[in-house]
Structure 1
Amino acid sequence: MRVTFLGTAAARPTVGRNVTSILVQREGDVMMFDCGEGTQRQMMRYGTGFAFSDIFFTHLHADHFLGVIGLLRTLGLQAREEPMDLWTPRGTEPLLKQAVELGVERVPFEVRINGVEVGEKVARGGYDVVPFKVSHGGKAFGWAVVEHERLGRFNAQKAREMGIPEGPLWGKLHHGEPVEVDGRVVTAAEVVGEPRLGRRLVISGDTRPCQSTREMAANADLLVHEATFAQDEAERAAHTGHSTAREAAEVAASAGVLRLVLTHFSPRYADDPRYLEKEARAVFPETTAAYDGLSIEVPFRPE
């Protein structure tokens, strides 16, 4: 799983940072989370390609969704034919529909707008994309990419020692089915280890620190949390429904995540967010301040 930050600025772009967008690649699937203005140019700049079919919106503030207008038209000019699914908090579909239909051009592919509620999973092969409640006023989500448990490790050496011929019988055992070999029944538990945890990626969107984020991020492999302000602007963060870098780190620490990446920086920190990174690391050392173009691999945990 790879997470690429296409935009890391809050509210408006700066010379060095575009507004919010994150691209997630999981095996053969690619999905986008938020689409600030100019996102299609960021995709060209960082070589991500355009082979994806889902955009998940945390909420419909302008810096999180206006880029979909240009992105869809860029894809249309590239002769795209595959449908595109847009996922947004239920009740915000009309605004997103207006944006998609803005202008006179019609894109030559189907654009499907899907309103979802908190906890309403978007099921995919081997994983779910799950919206969860955050604290940003109105209709706002965070999103989590939650992999299903993986099959336990198959013990090929033991299977051979037990006289189980390699081939279809191995596949059945690996998927939990008992098989018969020379008149005896062999169960999966004899040659297959315990199920292995899948990965969990949590993207907070815009939010105050909140219990629902902590719960969704519990033991996550990676938490991407907004850090719009430094702690000396804590009052402003609370007033505007955002978090400080320290507050994001406190969420990560209490949730027991493996790694925290900060994003969504106020333009006042855009040139040098190391101050925010330092503030967060004082609470949670495994913290990185994102920058446009940063790609992070999310590996499986060691066994």
Structure 2
Amino acid sequence: MTLRVTFLGTSGAVPTVERAPSALHVNREGDELLFDCGEGTQRQMMRYGTGFGLSHVFVTHLHGDHVLGIPGLVQSLDFNDREEALAIHGPPGSKRTLRQLVHAGGHDPSYPVRVDEVRPGNVALAREEYQVRTFETDHRTTSMGFVLAEADRKGRFDREKAEEELGIPPGPAYGRLHAGEAVELGDGRVVQPEEVVGPPRPGRTVAYTGDTRPSEATVEAARDADLLIHDATFASEDADRARSTAHSTAAEAADVARRAGANRLALTHISSRYAARAGLLESEAREAFEREGYDGDAFVPDDGDELEVPFPDAG
């Protein structure tokens, strides 16, 4: 089952030749979701082949480098004869500004666009297979992060035990047992699902902070995440600047990931001052892991990088 993350924009507030403003595309088994929409996001989507099948846009906060791509995206979708509804989810107090962005330049989309405000600690999108939940972040304005959390999967069916030990003939009984139903055999024996089905297996979790200082709320929201995408605007040499602008250093992001038990850490929102040395941020995060003896992976993605998120029990 696909869970693919495409980093469309990984720069800080000032874009560079290599890095566009913040935007993250997630394809979850055909459901296309966009997290933040910096200037030029629609071009990044074309450039990196994500397509325009998205149904939901999740906005962490209203700073320009996270929302100024909304007018272009909305109009590009319209020019491509879109008919399906688009939902935009933002933090408390964002609805008026987001509506203005949707209708920028007097444009009136020919397809439905719904704008919702969601408070931190709530569910922005609920599906049977997954949820997108919100959590509080610590920035200079009203802001929040998002967690895509899949539901648990069914346990593994032990076909060998079912067939050889319990004498259950292959057929519909296997599907019923895997679905949680007891099965009565021809000799009168009743087999319970737990006799041949293992415990539920965890789904995948991806957490995205947007802009933030390190916080306990992020640690809790990203608990055991398969991928944490965290603000890492600055290196340690600019830690004072990180504090004054309510951003994080790469080492601080690594500390959050370690305490959350996140498996992988993607460092994003890279300041333009590191345009030629983003590897410094990656090195500092990895060194922070090593100092604490933490076996996690930290990396700085480039624009256009794709990442397939595996199941926790894969391999």
Runs of 4+ in 1 over 6 A off after TM superposition: none
- In structure 2, the residue matched to 1:194 is 199
**Are 1:176 and 2:180 an aligned pair?**
yes
Give the AA of the match of 1:251. V
Of 110, 114, 124, 2:116 maps to 114
Number of residue equivalences = 303
Q: Distance in 2 between matches of 1:82 and 1:271?
A: 41
CA apart distance, 1:58: 0.7
d(CA) in 2 for partners of 1:228, 1:218: 22
Deviation at residue 226 of structure 1 after TM alignment: 0.8
In 2, Cα distance between equivalents of 1:198 and 1:221: 9
Q: Name the counterpart of 2:20.
A: 18
The worse-fitting range, judged by mean Cα deviation, of 154-163 and 45-54 is 154-163
Structure 2 counterpart SS, 1:202: strand
- Scaled by the length of structure 1, what TM-score is found? 0.97
Task: Report matched runs for 1:1-303 at 5 Å.
Answer: 1-121=3-123, 122-161=125-164, 162-182=166-186, 183-284=188-289, 286-302=297-313
Which residue identity is paired with 2:254? A
CA displacement at 1:158 relative to structure 2: 2.1
Q: Which runs of 5+ in 1 are unaligned?
A: none
Alignment-mate amino acid for residue 75 of structure 1: L
Q: TM-score, normalization: structure 2?
A: 0.93
Whole-angstrom CA distance in 1 between matches of 2:85 and 2:305? 28
Farther-moved stretch of structure 1 (92-101 vs 118-127) = 118-127
> RMSD between aligned alpha carbons?
1.3
Residues 43-100 of structure 1: CA deviation (Å, up to 9, x unaligned): 1111111111011111111100110110010010000100001011122111101111
Q: What's the CA shift string for 1:231-280, capped at 9, x where partnerless?
A: 11111111111001111111111211111110101111123300111111
C-alpha contact (below 8 Å) 1:253/1:283 kept by paired residues: no
User: Does structure 2 conserve the Cα–Cα contact (< 8 Å) formed by 1:153 and 1:194?
Assistant: yes
